[in-house]
Each structure stands twice: as C-alpha cells, then as structure tokens.
Structure 1
C-alpha cells in the first residue's frame, strides 16, 4: 500500500501507512521494503528530509545483505547531501563504494562522494573523484552531462581553466540538452575570461544566450559577454550588448545590472556625465536593491570627478547612513571627506577623515594614504602645520608605495616650512627631487634645497641644485631665478667663467625677464673681474641699451636695488672703457650715470673716474675741476682723499710744486687726520711721500742756500711723517731711504 501511495506522489499517505505498520511491529520479508518506502516518502518532504537519512541508514544497517540495502544506503547518502550534511553524505557514499562497487547505483554514489568533497572545500579531492567517475562511467550514462558540468565548475574553482576548457571541448558533443549545453558554454566563457581570453569568452557567452533565449541564464550570459567584449577592447560592442539587455526589459534586475556595467564603463572612459545618469537610473528604479549602495557610491564618485562636489555629498551620505555595514561605507566616508575638503568645509572634512581613520578594521594601503594626505591638507588650511607634517610622515612610513609620493613630500616640505622646521623642509625637498627627478615639483624642490645651501655659504652645493632647478623647470620665472642664483653661486666661489656662462644663459633665455638687466650686468662683472674688459664692455653695452630703450632714470626706477643695477652698469661700463684707453667713451658712460641718476651713491666715484679720464686725455684743468669737486664734497671719505691726492699729482706732474704740496698736506692732515680709517691712511702716507718728493725737487731748484735748506727741512718732515705715522705702509722703506739720503735719519 505504501508503494502504491508513493507511485501516486502521495507521500503523506505513504508515510502514514509505513509508520502504522512499523509501529505495530511489522516483520517478515517485506520489513526492509517497508523501511525503504518510509525513507523514500520522508525524503520527498523538506521538513522530514533529515529524518529520512536516519530511517534509510537504519534499514541498511539492519541487513546490509538485503537486495535493497544498496538502495537504502544510496538514499541515506543522497538525502544527507540534500540536507547539507556533506561530511555524513561523504561517509555514506564512500561506504557504498567499498561495499557495492559494482552496483548499478555506484556511479550516482560516486557523484555524491565528489559533491560532498566539493561542498566541504576539498576541490582537489572533488576533481579527482569527478574525473574518476567520468573515466569509469559509460559514455551514454544519463547523468554524464551533469557530471561533466560539475567537473568543469570544480576546475574553474581550482583555477585550472585550461583543463576546464579541454574537458568541455572534448565532451561538448555528448551533451544533448540545450539547457546543459548553455551551461557548458557559460562555464567555457568563465574559463576563457579568467584565463585572459576575452574574445573567446564573448563567443561562449553569446552561444549560451542563444541556446536558452529569454531565460535569466541567457541574460546573465549577455551581461558577461559585454564584460568580455570590453576586456577585448570592443567597448562599443560591449555597450550595445548591455543596452540590448536594458531594452529587452528595462524594469528588470538584470537591466539595472546592465546599467551598472554601462555606468562603470562610462566612468572608466571619463564620461562621468553618462555615468551619473545611469547610476541615478539604478537608484530611482530600485529594480536590484543589492546594487543601490554601489550606485550611490558611483554617483558620488563620478560627481566628484566632474567637480560637482556639492552634488556628491547627498548620495555618499545616504550610503553611509542607510548601509553602514556595506563594504563601500568606509570608501564613501573617505570620498565625502575629500568633497568637503574641496568645498573648503574644513570642519566637516576633518570630521569625516578622522572618523575614517578610526574605522575597524583599520584602513590600510592606498586608502589610508588618501585619508592621511587629505587630512594633512585640511590641517594645513586650518593653520595646523605641525600636525599636517606628522600626518604626512605617517603616510610615508605606513604607505611607502603610495602612488603620489612626490605630492606627499612636497606638502610635507611646505608644512615643515610653515611649522618653522626649516631643516625638515629642506630634507623633504631634497628627497623629492632626488627620488622623483621627473616630478612636476622637482624644479621647485631643487630650488629650495639650493636656497638653503646658498644661505649657508655652501656655494658648490647651491650651484648643483640651482643647475638642477634650471634644467627641470618649465616655468620661466623659476628658470630665470635659478640661473641667476646659479651665476651668483659660482661668482661667490670666484668661478667667474662659470658664473658668466650662467648669467649669459639667463640673459639669452629670458631677455624680457624681470632680471634680464641684472644678468647682463653680472656677465659684465664676471668679465671685469677677470680683466676681460672688451667682453665686459660688450655686456655692459647691452645693459645700457636696455636702460636707454626704457629711458630709465631716478624718477622711473624707484626700487633701490633695481636702480643700483643700472647705476653699476653705467659706472663699470665707463671703467671698462677706461681700462681699454677709450677715454671719451668712458666719460660718456659717466655722464650718462650722472644725468640719469644724479643722486646715485656712485656719484663721487663717477666724478673721480671722469677726472681720471680727463687727466689721461691731457686735459688737466678739467681733471682738476672734477677732482676738487670730489675732494670738497666728500671730506671724510676715501674717494675724497684719493681725489685730493690726484690733484696733487697733476700739479706735481706740471712741476707746480707750490700747488702740489698743499694738496698733499690736505690729505695728510685732513679727512680725519690721525683718526682717519685705514683706507684713507693709505692716501695720507702716499701724500706724505709725494710731498717729500716735491720738497726734494724744490730743494734741487732752489736759488739760495736758505731756500734749499727750507725745502730740505720740509722734505725731512714729510718723510718722517710717513715713517712715524704710517709704519706699516708699503712706502716706509723708500721713505727711510730718502730720509737717510737727506741726512735726517
């Protein structure tokens, strides 16, 4: 009766009949059959499936030799597998194989054994059993296609994609059912995709969809086909496939998945406006609730990429609030913090970023780096420079492979500077340009390192770094400044040729630069230092051309430093011409200086040099006029003493000794007298010696003994003045010789 009820799918009646008979103590040859029937009936109801295992196993163990024993053991193993008791299923299946290896159910039991291994995570063991099953079972076994598909699935799980592909290609023709063929193509597509054969994967997924049109499996295959086409570089074809899924049923879960893939592709292609539209459609449609948090994050992120930071905050906030345990919640918090920072909402940004850093598990890798970097920027903007520097140092320690490390070092250097930690700043700048010589910050970093060396007087190190800054920068201003400082670094080392080349390079590269005239002046200065007066004059002439073209005067050039550059060009240009014996040219240079900058600090020097030029031309009257103007106006300065001395020399040369001696005496006893500074004492000593020589010549030309004795007395006094008042002067020996010759020693 129980068997009849089972045949009619009336499991409940079958159970009732079997239980009644067993409870009444049924026995005899049909007892075993009754137990098996009860187990079969119990297995048909999910609520009694677990009980069926015990009933079937009990029947088997009551008489393992009964003809129905294999079936009972099979039922127990199969029910254990169905109720997720995988270890139990494996034990029962293995016992079956040992005892009933030749039974007609052996192949099915081997499948149960393999499945139990797979479900327990022993993929290797499962594959071995699947393959043994395929080797031992007949080619026309009805369940063989299932075994093939399960073996292929296990091989994919094992990442043995090559074996999966070989198996399915070998066995594909033995599979007759379209649904199973579709599954085979699906597995082939996965294997091809995971083994980086996207074109083959796309073809397999397409065949899968064609075999089972209109099914969820077909739609899933089309979604994956789009991914495969995208990976194969056929972005347009991929988009068309995903769009076809949407067009087939725009209100379906699969349609939203297609929208999500289209949105991701659009974002990857920097078409963020398209991505925003698609993410919003997913959120509004709500066809796939599981996609909502992903779409919210995507919407926020793409909004950020197009500068819509205010618009990004709402979706990110919704993700954080409504899905606090979602895998993207932390990323959303970080992204929102970045948007707040971009919007200059320092308080909100700081709150989000600090909260992100406190999340559990603790952030690590690039995201940790992003959070620390962003928080450091916020603290910089809030004036917390020392704290910002510590954040960036932590980033360097904990995320050494951070992809934007040059940005980190740059911000660390500036934070350190603003925190008044100059040594740390220089160290960071140095690391930046040494580790990242091609960074956009390399030139600026090299410049700051060079500045530090320059301030410390390490001219060689400064030159090296200024050279690097000049070579790396694309900024005209930085290039000009670096070359100018490079020239000065060499100049400070007295490497005048190198300095000249640097200044010349600056003048050539930046003829309209703010320091172009400075460069020309320094080219001249370097040549002047090495007595290359012709080259110096050429450089100064270029500088004078700029002065004249702009008609620079004391009224138009109000900055003292800029005015000094122009004054030096005109003064040293004249001196260079003088060194070349071009006295008229020299005078013209000095006149230009006096006319354009009448209050220049170099005016006494200009007057003096003009006097020298006229003297060299033999125009002594004009020379005396200039020398006397200098001497009268600058009674306490070296140039005044020198000019007065030169006046004496002119009179001396003209043998007007009576006029020469007073000029020399004015130097000896004026200009501060005995309290005069060393540079004036030099001219006092020379004046004393020259006065002595004048007196000796007066003595030689004297008409009377009295006049000769008086002149001799003056000469002795003058030489004694040199000896007594200027004992360390270079003329002391000559003064002593002359004094001895006069008998005054």
Structure 2
C-alpha cells in the first residue's frame, strides 16, 4: 500500500497480486483484490481491472468493497469501450458497463455511491451514441445535480449534463448548465478536472452566436493548458468565433497558431474550410478565397478538397471573376462528376460562361449539364438555361428544340404554364407564328387553370387576325377574321381574363371595327373602353377611335372635342409611338374644312409639317388644305398643294391622290379652263382605279367636251361612263345628257 501511495502503481500491483495469490482465502483477500484492481485501473489496464473488480463483487457480494467494486467495474468497462479498436468490441464493453450499473442499482440501493453510479449510468448511455440514449442521460444527470450535496459532485453532473445537451444540439442549455463549472475552472486553473468544459462552452457559445464568449472561453483554455488534449479544438473554435465577429486577421492568427502547435491536426484543413464558409456568408470574398485556396492546395486526397474547390469557384463568381470561376466549376465536374456538388457546379459552369458573355460555351456547358444530371433540379435548370442562352444568341430553331427536349425529360415541371409562355414567345417574337400557336395551344390544354390561358387565347386570336389577310393580294379570309373577332369579344367579357387582356381585346376590336367600317360598333367599343379602362394603356387609342366614329357619322362637334387635346399633346413622346396619331391632324383638318374654318385648316397642316415633314399621312392633310384653298377661290395655291399630295411617294396612286387629281380638274373647270380641266379629269380615270372618283371624273370630262363643243367626244365620254360604272349615280345623270349629245352630234 505504501508503494501505491508513493505512486509506484506497477510495483504495488505486483505486490498485491502476489499477496492475493498467497492469501486468497484470508478475510483480507477482498481488500487486497480490490486494491490490486484499483492499481490496474490507474495504470489503464482496463480489461484486468474490470475482471478483478467484478471478482470482488462476485466473491464478496455483501462485503465492504462490493459497491465500490461494482461501480469501478462499470468505470473500467466504459474506459475499455472508449478505447476499443472496433465497433463490435466497443458495443460489448458498453453492454458490460451497463450491466454493472444495473447490478449496482439492484444490489446496492443504499450505497453512498448511488449518485456516482447514476452519473456512470448516464455516461454509459451517452457512449451508446443515439439521441434517445442522450435524452435519457439528461434526466439522470439532472437528478444528480438536484440531489447531490457535495459541490464537486454537482459540478461533475453539470459537466456530463452539458455533454449530453451538446450531443442533442441544445446549445443554449449547455451554456446555462456550464456556468458554475466555468466559474470553478477559472478559479482552479489548469489543475481543474473540468478544464475541457472551456472548449465545450466555446463550441456551444459559437453555435448560438455568442461569439465574444466563445473567443474568451477558448482563449482561457489555450492560456491555461497550451498543450491540452483539446487545444486544437480550442484554436478552431476561437478562429471561427473571431471570423464571425469579422475579426479576420485574428482568425488567421488563431489558425496559424493551431498549425504551429499541432501541424498534423486534422482540424487545420477542416477549420480553414469553415473559416472560408463564414467569410463567404459575410460576403467577404477576398478572405473566403484565401482560405478556400489553402484547402484546395492540400490536394484532391483531402476529404475537404471538393467543397473547397466549389467554394473557391463560388467566391470568384461572386467577385465577377467569371473566367477563373468557370475553370473551377469545370474542374470539379470533370474530375468529380459523381460528387454531390457536381450537378450544381455543372450549372454554375454554364452560368459563369454566360455572364462572361461566352454564349456558345455557356450553351454547351448547360446542355452537357442537362444531359448528365437529369432528372434532378440542376439538370432541369441547366436545360432551361441552355434554351435561354440559345435564345440570347438568336439561335431560335436550336432554342426551340432545347425547350422541347426540356419538356420531354421534365414533362410537368413547376410553373409549366410560364415555361410554355416563355417558349411560345420565343417563336412569336421571331415571327414563327404557327409554331408559337402550337405551344400556346399546349399551354391551354395542359394547364387549363393557369392565369396565362387568357394570354394564350389572345395570342391565338391575334394569329387568326394577322393570317386573315393574304399578304400577296390583300384578300381577306372572312372565316379567320370572324374567329379572331369572336375570340377577342369572349376575352374582353370573360371575368377570368385579367385586366390587361380585356383591355387589349377591346383595342383589337376597335381596330377591327374601323377595318370593317362598322362605325356604330366602333363607337360602342371605344365608349366601353373609356368607361372600363379610363386610365388604361390604350385610353388615347379609345379617344381617337371614338372621334373617328363620330366623324364618320357626321358628328363633327364631339369628334372635334376629342381630337383637340390629342393634337395638343403632339410633343408627348407617347404620341410618336401611336400609329394613328398622324391621322389626328388629318381628321382635325377635315372637320375644320367642313366648318369652313380655313385658317385653322392651314394652321393644323402647318403644325403637322412641323411635327413630321416626312410623315406618311401628310399627303392626306395636304389634300384637305387644297380643298380649303379651293373653297376660298385660291386656285393656284390649291393646285400646288393638290400636286404635292399626288407627288408624295406615300400617296402615289392612292384614293386620296385620285381625289386630289379630281380637285385639280375642278379648279380649272371653275375657272372655265375646260381644256386643262378635261386633261386632269381624264387622268383620274386613266391613272387610278377608284370608281368613286373615276365616275364623276368621266362625267365632268363629258361636261368639258360639251363646253368645248366636241359632241362626238361627249357621246364617247358619257357612253364610257355608263359602260364602266353602270350602277353609279353619275351614270344615271349621264343618260339624258348622252341622248342630247347624240342629237347634237348628228347635226
């Protein structure tokens, strides 16, 4: 025993072994075997210690040392488990330790070691490693904290309770539980049996973002036991807490100190990766790049290499360093195609090329990622971006094929309706209307409840409208036109249509009504629009079309009230975008001419010229001005303006040009210059193909020949009129004059 007391445990064990062998039947044998086992326990010879403690309890179950023996047998078994070389041995040792604690609880209910056995039972449960066992251990440890009278026992219970809570990620309770323990550690210093509690506290404080407290606890551990078993974890916790406080220089120093203290610690690389992730989360990309690069430099054999390679590329991506980012993501995909991060990296590879404006490379990378990682989130995203990148490159046919391929592999993705809409618009904007129609029809059929269905129906109606006119000869397909009109009518009345589609449908219906010269209907539609969409995008269109409907029905005053504010807004850039706006000047001039406000006609046409001297509708306004001059007897001015209208390339051979030509002839006729009048009347019939103006021109040609006394020609004039335009009012007027001319021609 004296050898044991002086620390010569091996010598003491040898003596006690010999003594037990010689006196195993002696009453003192119980104590000798126990002390021998205790020496072995202290010498970390846990197998022998466990066996001998168990023998004490078995041979002397009612002996003085029975409770101590059972308790320490459990302790030895647990220590054996903690040092086991494999899972099977560990599990067996834990089971043995548990059996000793249960035997103790059954056979030694009144022992003074009961609370210690409860602590041991809790530690055994913790060693099992499941959350359920950790939860059960919490109750045991809390019971000891409450029941223990000795402060040291309470501190032991708190220490192990905190271990259990930390295992369960209950970090806030850990901090509360360890409060008295940390206080005691700081009093006792390096000699405290709970010195490791500082590291545990630092870890949980970091987890609940109490970074200053984490730094302080870890620093205390490093200061007190610079070569302690957990100094690497202390440096790691300190560095991570400092990084979270944005104290990056301090974090670098802590990591450097860890490397210096334990250059082979596996925590060095792991901590560098964690520091990089903290810096990245705080958008400190220079710092994250430095740490990620350090991990990448350790080589592919590191278990943290791929994560660091990914993080390095992400940091470069965030710094808009797209070329090196593409290289990093590409390397990950090529070298680790099956890694969990590969699919994401494949997508980011394409995105890096895309943002670097390397669209061909981006389309290829996205396409490869789509093929390699479908089905899967990044496979889908890559397929979608492949289509979009091809669209940006104006490769419409390839983009269309990419959208189609995407929906073959992912037939029912989230937001399918929006994908259909995007795909259809690709073709619509490229003028591939039949293809766009196919896709819009799929949208309607496959996502009938979508709020984009009305937009799709509107686009299909527009297709019918546009295709209703033959571009070669201008002929109209009445069936398609009627179908478009019916669709627009349904859309504008359907409560399921959104406001934009309803308004656009009314806008199209106004255009159709004008095209079909349905002036009453145009008035009704325009009024409906102004009522329902007073502040809508097409409110100005509605005002114009309503004015037009008034004018066509000889309601000049309400038309004038609508047209004046439109004309006054000629400086508004919005008006430049309205294809009908130039006609405002024409209609305003027409009303002013009807009201014989000739000076206002001149002012309106002058404003029009100043607004756009090359406008394609200017010739129509000049024709009105010509009539204003004619009405005032200013024939030279009238003819000059009529000539401008005829010579304008926009007006060549139009109905307005035919009318202007007739008006030139009229001025000569009024001035009794019948020869010049005749020449210009005949131009109307010969050059133009507008019966409304050809018929009166031929009639007036006959009148000129009457004045010139050429009755044979008069007969030919009136006969030509009646033959060419038999149903016109001018043919009826010509018939009696033809008979009179025939009589005079015979004389």
Which bracket does the TM-score occupy, shorter chain normalised?
0.5 to 0.7
Does the 8 Å CA contact 2:585/2:608 hold for their aligned counterparts?
Answer: no
> Counterparts in 2 of 1:39-118, with a 5 A limit?
39-40=37-38, 43=41, 49=46, 53=50, 56-82=53-79, 83=81, 84-85=90-91, 86-118=94-126
| Aligned: 1:29 with 2:12 | no
What secondary structure, in the 3-state scheme, does the structure 2 residue paired with 1:600 have?
Answer: coil
Matched, 1:604 2:658: yes
Among 216, 219, 225, the alignment partner of 2:235 is 219
- The separation in 2 between residues aligned to 1:56 and 1:206, in whole angstroms, is 42
The normalised TM-score by structure 1 is: 0.67
Answer yes or no: is the 8 Å Cα contact 1:350–1:378 preserved in 2: no
Counterpart residue number, 1:370: 381
Q: What are the Cα deviations for residues 582-602 of structure 1, in whole angstroms up to 9, with x where unaligned?
A: 675765542222344398122
**1:350 to partner: Cα distance:** 3.4
Q: Does 1:688 align with 2:703?
A: no
Aligned to 1:733: none
Matched, 1:126 2:180: no
Q: Distance in 1 between matches of 2:450 and 2:586?
A: 37
Instruction: Find the aligned partners of 1:660 and 1:594 in 2 and give their Cα distance.
Output: 31
Match of 1:440 in 2: none
Counterparts of 1:399-410 in structure 2, within 5 Å, are: 399=414, 410=422
Alignment of 1:150 with 2:160, yes or no, is: yes
Cα 1:243–1:120 shift into 2, 3 Å: closer
Task: Tell me, yes or no, if structure 1 residue 206 matches structure 2 residue 267.
Answer: no
2:476 is aligned to none
Q: How does 1:241-252 map to 2 (within 5 A)?
A: 241-246=250-255, 248=257
Whether contact under 8 Å (1:35, 1:59) holds in the other structure is yes
SS at match of 2:398: coil
| 1:510 and 2:520 are equivalent in the alignment | no
Q: TM-score, normalised by structure 2?
A: 0.66
Aligned match for 1:344, one of 338, 343, 360: 360
Within 2, Cα distance between the matches of 1:202 and 1:102? 46
Residue matched to 1:737: none
TM-fit CA distance, 1:320: 5.2
Q: 1:740 matched to which residue of 2?
A: none
1:422 maps onto 2:436 in alignment:
yes
Judge conservation of contact 1:613–1:623 (CA < 8 Å) in 2: yes
User: Equivalents in 2 of 1:244, 1:447: separation in Å?
Assistant: 66
Do the aligned residues in 2 keep the contact of 1:300 with 1:316 (CA within 8 Å)?
A: yes
Change (3 A) 1:43 1:459: same
* RMSD of aligned residue pairs (Cα, Å): 5.6
Contact 2:705/2:713 (8 A) holds in 1: no
Distance 1:266 1:463, change over 3 A: farther
**TM-aligned CA distance change 1:164 to 1:524, over 3 Å:** same
Structure 1 residues 209, 297: CA separation in 2 closer, same or farther (over 3 Å shift)?
A: same
Q: Deviations over 1:428-452 (max 9, x none)?
A: 99999x9999xxxxxx999978954
How far apart in 2 are the matches of 1:255 and 1:658? 119
Matching of residues 525-564 of structure 1 within 5 Å = 542-548=607-613, 552=614
Out of 248, 265, 278, which is 1:239 matched to? 248
Alpha-carbon offset, residue 221 of structure 1: 3.0
Alignment correspondent of 2:296: 283
> C-alpha distance in 1, partners of 2:338/2:111?
52
Aligned partners of 1:266, 1:451: CA distance in 2, in Å?
Answer: 54
Matches within 5 A, 1:111-510: 111-118=119-126, 119-122=129-132, 123-141=134-152, 143-169=153-179, 172-175=182-185, 176-178=187-189, 184=197, 187=200, 191=204, 194-195=207-208, 198=209, 200-213=210-223, 214=226, 215-229=231-245, 235=246, 238-246=247-255, 248=257, 260=273, 263-264=276-277, 267-268=280-281, 272=285, 275-284=288-297, 289-306=302-319, 308-312=321-325, 314-316=327-329, 319=332, 327-336=340-349, 338-339=351-352, 342=358, 344-345=360-361, 349-357=366-374, 363-364=376-377, 367-377=378-388, 383=398, 385-391=400-406, 397-399=412-414, 410=422, 413-414=425-426, 421-423=435-437, 425-426=439-440, 452=463, 455=466, 456-457=484-485, 458=487, 488=511, 491=514, 494=522, 499=541, 501=543, 508-510=571-573
CA contact (8 A) 2:662 2:697 kept: yes
Alignment of 1:695-710 (within 5 A): none
Q: Distance in 2 between matches of 1:352 and 1:190?
A: 40
Partner secondary structure for residue 135 of structure 1: helix
Please state how far the C-alpha of 1:284 moved relative to its aligned partner.
Answer: 3.0
CA contact 2:53–2:73 (8 Å) conserved in 1: yes
Secondary structure at the counterpart of residue 135 of structure 2 = helix
Q: Deviations over 1:102-129 (max 9, x none)?
A: 4233222211211233333223212111
Cα offset, 1:296, TM superposition: 1.3
Structure 2 residues without counterparts, runs of 5 or longer: 82-89, 467-483, 516-520, 528-539, 546-565
Q: Secondary structure at the match of 1:29?
A: coil
Decide whether aligned partners of structure 1 residues 331 and 628 sit closer, same or farther in structure 2, where only a CA change above 3 A counts: closer
Tell me if 1:666 matches 2:717.
yes
Q: Deviations over 1:207-244 (max 9, x none)?
A: 44245335434422322323542xxxxx4xx3243244
**8 Å contact kept, 2:458–2:488:** no
Describe the shift of the 1:105–1:113 C-alpha distance in structure 2 as closer, same or farther (beyond 3 A): same
Q: Which ranges of structure 1 fall in alignment gaps of 5 or more residues?
A: 230-234, 438-443, 472-480, 553-564, 700-706, 715-745
Q: SS of the counterpart of 1:77? A: helix
Q: 1:54 to 1:351 in 2, by over 3 A?
A: farther
Distance change (3 Å), C-alpha of 1:625 and 1:152 = same
Query: 1: CA distance between counterparts of 2:331 and 2:52?
Result: 53
CA separation in 2, counterparts of 1:509 and 1:611? 40
1:502 CA drift (Å):
7.2
- Cα distance in 1 for partners of 2:438, 2:19 equals 91
Which SS does the other structure have where 2:700 is aligned?
A: helix
Cα deviations by residue, 1:284-310 (Å, 9 ceiling, x for unpaired): 367994443322112222334455554
Range moving further from structure 2, 624-633 or 176-185:
176-185
